[in-house]
């Protein structure tokens, strides 16, 4: 038993300080912080959300418009709308068209990805359980990590460099 405690203690001592200082949010506290971070973006926003609904996309629309007006590169990675039921498919198609018309690049995946994250200016990473562009009434948990190192590690790990330079 003492060896187990010792091993756990050693692992904790090797945790990245970025992770130790990360912040947790729930579905009620996430969006105010996320919007604050969106407003501060200067270069790039990447959101991976497998589902998109008109309600949630509409709530975030003005913040996306502000990003585009500031010449911030914006990318949305989402699941192919054909993988959804009829209602979700129609909403996703509508919102994808709206994003693309605004100047946001939408990357549609065909691999049934269920990852949910956001990378802001390659310095802030949100690892989340909620679909940023569709969450409505579910209980969720989100972690915000302010770390260039952790963000770049995630960017490489999910291999976004093939699509975003």
69-122 pLDDT per residue, tens: 999 999 999 999 888 888 889 999 999 999 999 999 999 988 767 789 999 999
13-54 pLDDT per residue, tens: 455 665 557 999 998 999 999 999 999 999 999 999 998 989
In a domain, 5, yes or no: no
- What is the number of domains present in the chain? 1
- Contact between 102 and 68 under an 8 Å Cβ cutoff? The reply is yes
pLDDT at residue 8, rounded to an integer: 47
In a domain, 27, yes or no: yes
Assign 3-state DSSP to the chain and report helix, strand, coil percentages, each to 5: 45, 20, 30
Q: Which long-range contacts (CB under 8 A, 24 or more apart) does 90-94 make?
A: 91/52, 91/53, 91/54, 92/51, 92/52, 92/53, 94/54
In a domain, 4, yes or no: no
Question: Which residue is associated with the tokens 């690892």?
Answer: 127
Could you tell me the CATH number of the domain that includes residue 41? Answer: 3.30.870.10
In a domain, 24, yes or no: yes
pTM across the whole model: 0.85
Residue range of the domain that includes 41: 19-162
In a domain, 121, yes or no: yes
In a domain, 57, yes or no: yes
């Amino acid at each position: 038993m003492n060896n187990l405690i010792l091993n756990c203690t050693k692992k904790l001592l090797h945790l990245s300080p970025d992770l130790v200082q990360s912040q947790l949010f729930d579905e009620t506290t996430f969006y105010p912080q996320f919007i604050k971070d969106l407003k501060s973006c200067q270069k790039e926003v990447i959101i991976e959300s497998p589902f998109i609904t008109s309600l949630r996309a509409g709530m975030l629309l003005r913040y996306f418009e502000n990003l585009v007006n500031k010449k911030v590169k914006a990318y949305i990675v989402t699941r192919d709308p054909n993988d959804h039921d009829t209602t979700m498919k129609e909403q996703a198609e509508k919102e994808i068209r709206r994003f693309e018309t605004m100047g946001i690049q939408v990357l549609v995946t065909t691999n049934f990805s269920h990852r949910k994250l956001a990378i802001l200016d390659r310095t802030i990473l949100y690892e989340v359980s909620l679909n940023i562009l569709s969450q409505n009434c579910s209980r969720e948990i989100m972690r915000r990590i302010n770390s260039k190192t952790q963000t770049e590690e995630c960017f490489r790990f999910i291999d976004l460099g093939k699509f975003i330079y």
